[in-house]
Structure 1
Amino acid sequence: MEKKQSFDLLFCSSFFAFLLVLWPAMSQEVENQREFDYNTNGTRGPAHWGDIRPEWHTCRTGQMQSPIDLLNQRVRIVSHFTDLKINYSSSNATLKNRGHDIMLQWSGSAGYMEVNRSRYFLRQIHWHSPSEHTINGRRFALEAHLVHQSQTGNIAVIGILYNIGQPDYFLSTMRQHFIDISTTQRDKLLNVVNPSRLRMRSSLYYRYIGSLTVPPCSQNVLWTIVRKVRTVAPDQVNLLRVAVHDDSNTNARPLQPLNNRNVQLRIKASVEGAE
């Protein structure tokens, strides 16, 4: 009898964990970020996001929150996988100031990423400085988030990390647009923008299940962090911060507990169409 109860408990725990992973992260990031900030000593800072609105409670109670430290001892290496495919295309886009970051939002079909035969369509890209994710405790100068959504509402994000160095090509093509939005503080409609110019081809990437890093902090987000660290010029990072006019030197959420989640480093994956 005792063995049966133990088996039933284990089965139920595994079953609900399985359902949790499958449950879609339906809530997108907030469009207006002015209700919260990144001041760790203030009442609207990251430690209090979950108290500002009832629908943001996951920021405080969630057990699968992002960002995390991608520590070597936590990472399980998975080799010879070809489960990630990227097929981006040019489309019209709008540049927006959301309050703490600059977001480039595609209005048409900008392509998709495909993971295990599930397609996630590219919706937008935005930037955090310094980086939100760290590798072995190391924080980087900048992190780009490419946010995708499936037809069923599931969210997948590709993260790209940047060190200070040579200018980033994609940001160079956007420089004048960033200057314009900094001056006018209004949304700017752009002509065709090609996300493939991000040039993020890599044969190694981290994979884990986490959350959005801004309210409502929705969970069950599929994260793919490109292991190859790219470079960005100091003035490019500064321009992204200046353009939002939020009087802050950062828009990076503090690291969150791992809580026994699996983190994989996938090797020799086929990343198609990224350049």
Structure 2
Amino acid sequence: MKHQKILPMFLSYVLILIAILLLSTTWTLAQEVEDETEFDYINGSKKGPLHWGELKKEWATCKNGIMQSPIDMADHKVRIVTKLGKLKKNYKPHNATLKNRGHDIQVKWEGDAGSININGTEFFLHQAHWHSPSEHTINGRRFAMEVHMVHESSKRKGKSKIAVVGLLYKIGRPDPLLAKLSKYIKSLVDTEGERSIGVINPSNIKFGGKKYYRYIGSLTIPPCTEGVIWTINKKIRSVSRAQMKLFREAVHDHAKRNARPIQLLNKREIHLYG
């Protein structure tokens, strides 16, 4: 009888422990909206960027937030600093999948794809996705495309931090990584789906220059969570016109662009390491 009582109690503890472990390893950015039907980028649409904060109470920050992204990095608002230091990257090749999320095209690594170090904190890479045209601007100039490399720190006291590295692209020579992904992207044009794309090395997303902007902002899609550490490389990369066109064709929410409008800076500081 004693063993019969202990066994159910033991199983209960095991189930509780499993639940705790699952919760502790849940990626914060799972909160990013995956369902394309919930919002769009169409100008004048009731589900467009100007109305995101009204569509759900969980998205109110999109309307009421004071640290929203993207922003314009105008020279007269930027403060040059040296203490930020060189961006420390430690990426690893790993298996990945390519997914058409409707509002963007995403590469998601299925395991440990390495990390970046910001102020002594390790942020682990989870996914990268593209916007066209760029979301961030420099001195009011919008570029052809922008990639966001999304990272998350380990949880401390049940919370983790998000860091996004952004790179801007102008029309020019083809981008090597996008050239490698093009056949998979073509198979996902106007189609919801996911494709295994084998081993992808995040280092193939070339940073180039050593100068970068840094500011505190938000996710650029609902729920527009704030407190995101943004790092925008100052060097402008290049993509071909055909690569840009393919990305725009693949995104199937019927919008010609998937870039959120520029948000107010609201006295935030923009630092430029260089």
Output the TM-score relative to the length of structure 1.
Answer: 0.85
Determine whether 1:57 maps to 2:60.
Answer: yes
Match of 2:263 in 1: 256
Residues 229-262 of structure 1: CA deviation (Å, up to 9, x unaligned): 0110011011111112222110000000000001
1:90-130, CA deviations, whole angstroms, 9 ceiling, x for partnerless residues? 11111111111111111111000110110110000000110
| Partner of residue 10, structure 1 | none
Deviates more, 1:253-262 or 1:168-177: 168-177
Is 1:136 the equivalent of 2:177?
A: no
Secondary structure of 2:38's aligned partner: coil
| Unaligned ranges ≥5, structure 1 | 1-24, 268-275
Regions of 4+ moved over 3 Å: 25-28
3-state secondary structure, aligned to 1:104: strand
Take 2:38 and 2:190, find their aligned partners in 1: how far apart are those partners?
22
Distance 2:125 2:249 in 1: 26
Structure 2 unpaired stretches of 5+: 1-26
Q: What percent identity do the matched residue pairs reach? A: 51
For residue 26 of structure 1, report the CA deviation from its aligned partner: 4.5
State the aligned residue count.
243
Deviation at 1:222, TM superposition (A): 0.1
Whole-angstrom distance in 2 between the partners of 1:84 and 1:142: 22
Cα deviation, residue 199, structure 1: 1.4
SS in 1 for 2:188: helix
Structure 1 residue 79, shift from structure 2 partner: 2.4
SS in structure 1 opposite 2:232?
strand
From 215, 223, 226, the counterpart of 1:216: 223
Deviation (angstroms), 1:183: 7.0
1:109 aligns with 2:112: yes
243, 251, 262: which one aligns with 2:250: 243
Query: Partners of 2:123 and 2:245 in 1: how far apart?
Result: 31
Q: Contact conserved, 1:96 with 1:103, CA < 8 A, in 2?
A: yes
Indicate yes or no: 2:100 matched with 1:97.
yes
Backbone CA RMSD of aligned residues: 1.5
**3-state SS of paired residue (2:222):** coil
The whole-number CA distance in structure 2 between the counterparts of 1:217 and 1:234 is 30
TM-score by structure 2 length? 0.85
